Each structure stands twice: as C-alpha cells, then as structure tokens.
Amino acid sequence: MAISQTKKILLIEDDKPTVKIVKLMLEQEGYEVSVAGDGEKAIEALKNPADLILLDLLIPKIDGFQVLKIIRQEKKLKLPVVVFSNLSRQRDIEQAAELGANDYLVKSEFSAGKLKQKINNFFNAK
C-alpha cells in the first residue's frame, strides 16, 4: 500500500518476537516504526512525535494502563492510541476505553493480514 507521507507508529511492546514480527508487518505497509520496550521508555518516547501508538498492557516498569493515563491525563496528548494486548476481559477493555484508548485489539483475534488492514483503515478513515 502506498502512503503519500510516511506515518510514524510508536509500538510499546516488551515481547521481542512480537516486536520483531509486528515491526516487520507495519514497515512492510510503509510505516515508520519506533519501539519502546517498557513503560518508562514509552513515556520518554512520547517526546518524539508519532501518528499512532500501539500499546501493549502488560509491560515492565509502568504498565500500559498507567502509560495511557499519562498520555491522556498528564501529557494531554490527543494522538490515537490503539491498545494491542492479549488481555481480553471486558473489564480490561472497559478500563482502557475509560482512560481514552481509541481502539482495543486482542492480538489473538487478528491474523497478520487483518492487523495490517485494521491499522491502514485507521489512517484512511482520518
């Protein structure tokens, strides 16, 4: 897929194999992907502008919910944040929505193709 201007995605994820494959999938779609391996690095990475954040919830140091809270309540950033986790309980989904997540993707429910499509749709819909 051709994108007129390279979009930047911040992938907040600690699991290295996941990072490797997701980064590859997204780069294949033409996105510029930067990675933060824990909550602290994620906060640090917020200094650099991104067009979308893919956020895992179970990450070291500061968990994903806290990172989301900091993004929305402290930093008051409006960029889209898509939760990307294998936690699938309703209470987790609701909590993320309350904290201001734009979408919640359960990893195990997406194939590589669907995931790429979902992210592309996100940008195309804007």
Partner 1 sequence: MVNFLLALIVLRNNPRNIINKVFFLISVFLGLWGFSLLFYQFPLIFSSLAWIKMTYLSASFYLIFVLAFSFIFPTAIYRQFWRPAAFFSLIFLAVTIWLLFFTKIWIIDVVVDPQKGLQTIWGNGYYLWLLIIWISIIWTFINLIIKSRHSSGLRKLQLKFFSYSFVLFSFLVTVSDGIVPIFFNDTRLFYTSAIFSIIFSGVTAYAILKHRFMDIHLVVARSISYFLLLFSFGVFYSLTLFLCATFIIAEPIAIGTYALFSLIALAVAFSFQPLLAFFQRITDNIFYKQNYNESRLLYDLALLMASTFSLVELTDKLLEKIMAAIRVSFGAFVLIDNKKIFHLVQRGYAGKMKISDGDISRFVKQTQIVLFDELPENALKETMRRLNINVIIPLRVKGETEDVLIFGEKLSGNPYTDKDISFFQVFASAASAAIKNVSNVEQIMRLDELKSEFVNVVSHQLRTPLSVARWNFEMILDNVFGKLPPKVEQITRDTYLQFVTLNRGLNNLMAVLEIEKNEVLMKYDKIDIDQAIIKEVISDLAEVIKEKKITIKQENPIARKFSLDQKKIKAVFEIILDNAIRYSPDGSTITISQTLRKGKRKNEILISVADRGIGILSVNKEAIFTKFFRGEEAKKMSPDGFGLGLFMAKKYVKYHGGDLWFEKNKAGGSTFSFFIPERTGK
The answer to whether residue 1 forms part of the interface with partner 1 (CB under 8 A) is no
Report if residue 63 touches partner 1, rule: CB under 8 A: no
CB of 23 to partner 1, least distance (A): 11
Q: What is the 3-state secondary structure (H, E, C) of 98-116?
A: HCCCCEEEEHHHCCHHHHH
15 interacts with partner 1 by CB under 8 A:
yes
Sheet holding 103-106, edge to edge: 32-36, 8-12, 52-55, 81-85, 103-106
Q: Does 18 bind partner 1 (CB under 8 A)?
A: yes
Amino acid identity of 28? Q
By CB under 8 A, is residue 69 in contact with partner 1? no
Please state, in angstroms and rounded to a whole number, the distance separating the CA atoms of residues 38 and 45: 10
Binding site for partner 1 (CB under 8 A): 15, 17-18, 21-22, 24-25, 28, 58, 85-91, 93-94, 106-115
